[in-house]
Amino acid sequence: MSRTDDKKKKSKKWEAYEAKGGELKRTKKSCPKCGGGVFLAQHKNRVSCGKCGYSEKLS
Ligand SMILES: [Zn+2]
């Protein structure tokens, strides 16, 4: 038993999260007003920013 085992479990969680984020990245656009770190929420035919309220129609 070692403390490194605990750390490994935590990093595995991160991997799963990052993989999920990678999938979403394909469709998610970043907000032109807030910058690259803020992603637009995907709706049926538009995307919107939860931070500044910017929205964009998808064609
Ligand atoms: Zn924004």
pTM more than 0.85: no
Q: Which two tokens stand for residue 44?
A: 């049926």
Q: Structurally, how many domains does the chain consist of?
A: 1
Determine the distance separating the centroid of ligand 1 and the alpha carbon of 47, expressed in angstroms. Answer: 11
From first to last of its 59 residues, the chain has per-residue pLDDT tens of 666 666 666 655 555 555 555 544 445 688 999 998 898 998 899 999 999 999 999 87
Range of the domain at 46: 3-57
C-alpha 30 to ligand 1 mean position (Å) = 8
Q: What does the alpha-carbon distance between residue 39 and residue 56 come to, in Å, rounded to a whole number?
A: 12
Ligand 1: centre distance to CA 29 (Å) = 11
